[in-house]
């Protein structure tokens, strides 16, 4: 288990100070640290590795205290037993793959060192590249060697800072599989930083979402991404409709509130959130969660039925993207089949149906 309590303040010329204030616990296995660039993800990793020093806090891994501002403990990076794979990988350009991997094992006798290097090169399927320099091998192979170099030291914790950026999905998945297999027996905490939704879906056991130096959400990928509480999280999670509005009515008994969308007479019902009448809110709705009807629907459980007109249709592969003007513009995703059957086209009058629970309140 890795526990991190860290407070840190950095003053930067010409911009507001950056403040980091987090408290997280990372169990064995892969945990994703998710957030937009500038959220402080890499700073968290630097604090754990000892490359940055928090102003206050405590960091412990596997029962060992790595940093404790009160007890004046601040272990240097080389004694922390924390492995760190950087976004740039930072393989030593003048050493071949085997030399890179054995770099962290200088205290071992030759024979054991060679054995360990061979074992891990095999585990990450790069044993044929041992005499190649980093410049002579492909991106995916470099990533595997960087992983092997970090893990061969048998660290307490593994930190990965977007190490698989730029790789194809299949290659990524294969490397992740090898990493999981390696960690199955060892069960060390792995903190994996990313800002892309696909990696969260591919890796997802646990997600910690960060923004502006704070943890904003924590849980399974579904919990964190399906009910986004922040605008960037909504965008990252693929909510095509992000609408601003004003709360006009709270119905606490029903667990809902009504929101009037900006620049229109359009009102929708959304789940009750922390807001009062008159408050400005933002509502996120997935384009795929909206139903479209060509006549006014009746007898529906859905509370939000909005009349509008199709502005434009656009086919993207097996998906049709319709822009519908209801005073505000909605994006709706349809199948080509539905589009044909309903004879949908620009200018056609339609009704949009939104379930209350498909409308998510998002913090400004």
| Residues that bind other proteins in the complex, under the rule CB under 8 A | 49-51, 76-80, 82-84, 86-94, 103-104, 106-107, 133-135, 139, 142, 149-150, 153, 166
- In the numeric block, which tokens belong to residue 114? 């060679």
Whose Cβ is closer to other proteins: residue 159's or residue 331's? Answer: 159
Label residue 362 exposed, middle or buried (CB < 10 Å: 0-12, 13-18, 19+): buried
Residue 109 CB coordination number (10 Å): 9
Residue in the structure block whose two tokens are 């169990």: 27
Residue 216 CB coordination number (10 Å): 19
Whose Cβ is closer to other proteins: residue 92's or residue 335's? Answer: 92
Min. distance of Cβ 100 from other proteins in angstroms?
Answer: 9
Min. distance of Cβ 341 from other proteins in angstroms?
Answer: 48
Whose Cβ is closer to other proteins: residue 86's or residue 351's? Answer: 86
Min. distance of Cβ 167 from other proteins in angstroms?
Answer: 11
Label residue 259 exposed, middle or buried (CB < 10 Å: 0-12, 13-18, 19+): buried
Whose Cβ is closer to other proteins: residue 103's or residue 232's? Answer: 103
Min. distance of Cβ 90 from other proteins in angstroms?
Answer: 4
Min. distance of Cβ 148 from other proteins in angstroms?
Answer: 12
> Which residues, 6 or more positions from 64, have their beta carbon under 8 angstroms from its beta carbon?
81, 156
**Cα-based torsion angle of the residue sequence 194, 197, 200, 202 in order, rounded to the nearest 10 degrees:** -120
Q: How many residues does the chain have?
A: 364
> Which residues, 6 or more positions from 151, have their beta carbon under 8 angstroms from its beta carbon?
83, 120, 158, 182
Whose Cβ is closer to other proteins: residue 5's or residue 141's? Answer: 141
Min. distance of Cβ 10 from other proteins in angstroms?
Answer: 15
Min. distance of Cβ 134 from other proteins in angstroms?
Answer: 5
Min. distance of Cβ 149 from other proteins in angstroms?
Answer: 7
Contact assessment for residue 61 and residue 26, using Cβ atoms and an 8 Å cutoff: no
Min. distance of Cβ 42 from other proteins in angstroms?
Answer: 11
Whose Cβ is closer to other proteins: residue 26's or residue 82's? Answer: 82
Min. distance of Cβ 193 from other proteins in angstroms?
Answer: 15
């Amino acid at each position: 288990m890795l526990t991190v309590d860290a407070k840190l303040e950095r003053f930067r010329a010409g911009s507001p100070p950056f403040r980091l204030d987090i408290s997280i616990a990372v169990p064995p296995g892969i945990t994703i640290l998710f957030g937009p660039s500038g959220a402080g993800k890499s700073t968290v990793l630097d604090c754990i590795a000892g490359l940055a020093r928090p102003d206050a806090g405590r960091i412990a891994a596997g029962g060992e205290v790595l940093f404790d501002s009160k007890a004046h403990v601040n272990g240097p990076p080389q004694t922390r037993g924390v492995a760190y794979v950087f976004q740039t990988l930072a393989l030593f350009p003048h050493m071949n793959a085997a030399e890179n991997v054995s770099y962290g094992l200088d205290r071992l006798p030759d024979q054991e060192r060679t054995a360990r290097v061979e074992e891990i090169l095999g585990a990450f399927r790069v044993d044929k590249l041992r005499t190649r320099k980093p410049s002579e091998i492909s991106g995916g192979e470099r990533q595997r060697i960087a992983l092997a170099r970090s893990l061969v030291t048998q660290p307490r914790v593994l930190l990965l800072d977007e190490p698989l950026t730029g790789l194809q999905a299949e290659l990524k998945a294969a490397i992740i599989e090898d990493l999981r297999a390696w960690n199955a027996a060892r069960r060390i905490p792995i903190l994996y930083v990313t800002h892309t939704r696909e990696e969260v879906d591919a890796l997802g056991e646990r997600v910690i979402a960060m923004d502006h130096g704070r943890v904003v959400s924590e849980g399974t990928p579904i919990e964190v991404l399906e009910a986004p509480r922040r605008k960037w999280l909504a965008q990252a999670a693929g909510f095509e409709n992000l609408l601003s509005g004003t709360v006009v009515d709270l119905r606490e008994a029903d667990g809902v509130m009504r929101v009037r969308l900006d620049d229109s007479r359009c009102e929708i019902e959304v789940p009750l959130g922390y807001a009062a009448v008159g408050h400005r809110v933002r509502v996120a709705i997935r384009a795929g969660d909206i139903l479209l009807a060509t006549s006014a629907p009746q007898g529906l459980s859905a509370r939000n039925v909005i009349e509008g007109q199709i502005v434009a249709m656009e086919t993207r592969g097996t998906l049709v993207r319709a822009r519908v003007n209801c005073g505000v513009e909605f994006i709706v995703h349809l199948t080509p089949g539905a589009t044909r059957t309903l004879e949908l086209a620009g200018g056609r009058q339609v009704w949009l149906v939104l379930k209350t629970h498909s409308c998510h309140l998002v913090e400004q």
